[in-house]
Amino acid sequence: MFKKIVIKISTLILILIGLNFVYNFTLYKKDLYEKSEQFIEIKNEQATTDIFYFAESSNFNVRENDSIMNSISEITNFFFPSLKLTAINKPAAHAGIFKAWLKSIDVKKNKAKAVIITLNMRSFDAAWRHSVLETQLQESVVLVQPYPNLVNRFLLSLQAFDNKTDEQRNKEMLDDWENVKLEFPFDFKYKTVREWDVSFGQYGWDLPDGSPEKNKILLTCHYVKAYAFNLNEKNPRIKDFDEIAEWCNKNNINLYLNLLAENIEYADSLVGKELVFLMKQNRDYLVKRYNKGNCKVIDNLELVNGLEFTDQTWTTEHYGYRGRMIIARNVANTLKDQFSKEYIKAY
């Protein structure tokens, strides 16, 4: 009886191995192109790439009237024309996704000696962490989990990943705003994002839509919800960046965290010094935590003035060409320590 069971199990294992082999050579690449094209880009480029640049939309967003349409990564590459800098982009991507991209690199075939990863402050906030886009992002990394490819395809079919409904994600976001306490080293009357947000909005909701005053109130509230938080180890993005730093250190690849510019000017004029304090405090936390060993934080937080931000009625890291050039130059100046022989003064 036991022998028959062993034979059946062995037969089943052989069948699964065979099916996995067939899947690998038939539908797997098609599925990857459909769900996870960034991983194919990494696989195809890793043998010839000197520097990888992982980013969300901040890298490639341009204005229609920009005189220069190049992305931040392309402008950075101008300073190192003999090197190949490959950008891997996906809108709304964050450290959890970048971590999966990084771990997909085959270190035996990889030529890259450095990885630049965008460090977007808003990606730590409740709105981004609980975004309705998160389901699609999580779906994009299922096929590269450390299991046989057929098993990953089965998990994808079952939607066995972080697949919350939009209603669930919105509730989690609202719960964070309602319950997570803000911490200041001085007295401040608002204890949560919700309290702070309401303090600005409560006098403006009866104004007619589109009125300048109501638009200003809405923008002010956007800034509060985007930047009013205290970074600490409980934030899941911190855990993701910790893993990223650990992987790069283990594999002897220099890591550059490109801390993007935020509209400090508008945060100050619309909300006030308390919000600017939180933004700078969170910047200091990130610099202190990651600016060591083979990792460097490239601090652009205060380098771009308010009018250089493409979106004037929302909080994003989208810049006109001057803003992109400022950030690219700062990235290049930091890379120069590692790639001094390849560096040229582009502008």
The arithmetic mean of pLDDT across residues 337-343, rounded, is 97
Count of Cβ atoms closer than 10 Å to residue 248 Cβ: 20
Q: Share the mean pLDDT of the chain.
A: 92
Per residue in 167-222, pLDDT tens?
999 999 999 999 999 999 999 999 999 999 999 876 666 677 778 888 899 999 99
Q: Are 194 and 177 in contact (CB under 8 A)?
A: yes
pLDDT of 206 reads 66
Instruction: Tell how strand 85-89 and strand 114-119 pair up.
Output: unpaired
- Answer yes or no: is 143 within a domain: no
Per residue in 9-40, pLDDT tens?
555 555 556 555 675 677 778 888 898 999 99
Q: What are the DSSP calls for 190-239, one per residue?
A: --SHHHHHHHHHTTTTTSPTT-HHHHHHHHHHHHHHHH-----TTSHHHH
Per residue in 193-205, pLDDT tens?
999 999 987 666 6
pLDDT of 201 reads 76
- State yes or no: pLDDT of 255 exceeds 80: yes
pLDDT of 159 reads 83
CA atoms of 157 and 151, how far apart (whole Å): 10
Per residue in 84-127, pLDDT tens?
999 999 999 999 999 999 999 999 999 999 999 999 999 999 99
pLDDT of 160 reads 79
pLDDT of 204 reads 60
- Answer yes or no: is 49 within a domain: yes
- State yes or no: pLDDT of 6 exceeds 80: no
Helix (H, G, I), strand (E, B) or coil at 250: helix
CA atoms of 308 and 166, how far apart (whole Å): 33
- Answer yes or no: is 229 within a domain: yes
Q: How many domains does the chain contain in total? A: 1
Domain, as residue range, for 100 = 36-125+181-335
pLDDT of 219 reads 95
Beta bridge partner(s), residue 85? 51
* Residue 298: exposure state from Cβ atoms within 10 A (0-12, 13-18, ≥19): buried
- Answer yes or no: is 10 within a domain: no
pLDDT of 12 reads 55
Selection from 323, 329, 338, 336 nearest residue 61 by Cα: 323
- Answer yes or no: is 319 within a domain: yes
pLDDT of 23 reads 58
The arithmetic mean of pLDDT across residues 250-279, rounded, is 98
CATH number at residue 323: 3.40.50.1110
> Which pTM value belongs to this model?
0.93
> Which helix (H) or strand (E) is 297 found in, with range?
strand 295-299
- Answer yes or no: is 19 within a domain: no
Per residue in 300-334, pLDDT tens?
999 999 999 999 999 999 999 999 999 999 999 99
- Answer yes or no: is 132 within a domain: no
- Answer yes or no: is 158 within a domain: no
